Amino acid sequence: VNKKQDYFNEQDVDVLTVLAAQAAIAVENSRLYQQADLINELVHELRTPLASILTIAYLLKRSDLTNDQRQQFAESIAEEVTRLNDLASSYLEYSRLEAGRLTFSATAFDLRNLLTESCRTLRPKAEEAGISIQMFSADQPLFLTADENKIKQVVVNLLNNAIKYNQTGGRVLVNAWKNGDSVSFSIQDNGVGIPEADLPHVFEKFYRAHNIQEAYPGTGLGLSICNRIIEIHGGTITVQSQVNAGSTFTVELPVNVKK
């Protein structure tokens, strides 16, 4: 018995095949549009550092420069190239996440260990900037099954921001706790904060709040990468903030990753 013929005749099957192919093309097209959007934004972001490098190159051609000025221009070029480099690697990471091409490998681990390790890694950098990092957490282990490296990437990113958007004498507090079937952590700073109007947008790609744009280097991709990683794990990432008072980022993750 030909099962196919019980339900469809040959012509119907052809129509279904065509419809399925059209649906696949539509999905592919929308993916291509999204990718084109992302590339447009990237090109736009590349323009600023490239324009700075060009300006500095012209200035360097002047013959009346002191050694100090030359040194400063060279440093500025190095800074702008670092920014280009950061943009390129963040962009690659982001587009891989968007395309769903990053492989996730879930293992069981204690969130407290991951947080302690991340704090230890970033403490020298924080201390150099005159900022302290303290951690508080539950006494019992906070086990979860998730991609440890990816969660660490989120923690390091949030800690780096808490240090960067802060000032000498500032402090960063890390908290971790369990709530039913999920574990959470928060990273709180008493730094520059985020204006209310910018707050709903900080997880969007390339978005940078108005109070920091000139003074602090960055790509505006870090939080969108964090958001995507947490989303893929079935968790949530939220922020509370007040200008000149500080920001708190809170991440909640299911104990068992829902893929």
H helices, E strands: number in the chain: 6, 7
Of 137 and 224, which has the nearer Cβ to ligand ADP? 224
Of 131 and 183, which has the nearer Cβ to ligand ADP? 131
Q: Which one of 37-45, 133-141, 146-154, 214-222 is the stretch in contact with ligand ADP (CB under 6 A)?
A: 214-222
Task: List the 246-254 sheet strands across, edge first.
Answer: 132-137, 171-179, 182-189, 246-254, 236-242
Task: Give the three-state DSSP class for 182.
Answer: strand
Of 37 and 204, which has the nearer Cβ to ligand ADP? 204
- Mark 143-172 with x for binding to ligand ADP (rule: CB under 6 A) and - for no binding: ------------------xx--x-------
219 is a site residue for ligand ADP (CB under 6 A): yes
49 is a site residue for ligand ADP (CB under 6 A): no
Q: How many other CB atoms are found less than 10 A from the CB of residue 125?
A: 14
Query: What's the CA gap between 157 and 252, in Å, rounded?
Result: 16
Among 112, 119, 170, 193, which residue sits at the site for ligand ADP (rule: CB under 6 A)? 193
Within 121-243, strands assigned E span: 132-137, 143-146, 171-179, 182-189, 236-242
Phi and psi at 230, nearest 5°, equal -70, -40
Residue appearing with tokens 């339900």: 7
| Count of residues near ligand ADP by CB under 6 A | 21
Among 150, 237, 247, 252, which residue sits at the site for ligand ADP (rule: CB under 6 A)? 247
188 is a site residue for ligand ADP (CB under 6 A): no
202 is a site residue for ligand ADP (CB under 6 A): yes
Query: What's the CA gap between 199 and 122, in Å, rounded?
Result: 25
Residue appearing with tokens 């900080």: 202
Of 93 and 110, which has the nearer Cβ to ligand ADP? 93
Of 137 and 157, which has the nearer Cβ to ligand ADP? 157
Of 145 and 240, which has the nearer Cβ to ligand ADP? 240
174 is a site residue for ligand ADP (CB under 6 A): no
Q: State how far the alpha carbon of 156 is from the alpha carbons of 39, 161, 174, in Å.
A: 26, 9, 12
222 is a site residue for ligand ADP (CB under 6 A): yes
Binding site residues, ligand ADP, CB under 6 A: 161-162, 165, 189, 191-194, 202, 207-209, 212, 218-224, 247
